[in-house]
Amino acid sequence: MRDKKYYIVLDDFERRVIVNCLNEMRNKIIADGKYTDAVDEVLLKIIGAKQKKFKVIYKEA
């Protein structure tokens, strides 16, 4: 069975906040002497994510 993929929309500020938080979490894990493999994977995915432009259309119900 294939893994589900999730797509999220972030602006530049939100992306920077996520990268900063993940980096802080990684530093805390390193300070505790634990492995950072999971955080590293997510951090690399966020940093290397492609940008895609699209238009949002709001409709009233």
- Read off the pLDDT band of 9 (50, 70, 90): confident
Q: Is the pLDDT of residue 24 over 90?
A: yes
In one-letter notation, the amino acid at residue 39 is V
So what's the pLDDT on residue 7? 85
Per-residue pLDDT, 16: 96
Query: Taking the model in full, what pTM does it have?
Result: 0.77
What angle, 0 to 180 degrees and rounded to 10, lies between the N-to-C axes of helices 37-47 and 12-32?
A: 160
Closest CA to 42 of 2, 1, 6: 6
The pair of structure tokens assigned to 29 is 């894990």
Check whether 43 has a pLDDT greater than 80.
Answer: yes
- Higher-pLDDT residue of 19 and 57 is 19
One DSSP character per residue, 5-35 reads -------HHHHHHHHHHHHHHHHHHHHHT--
pLDDT of 61 higher than 90: no
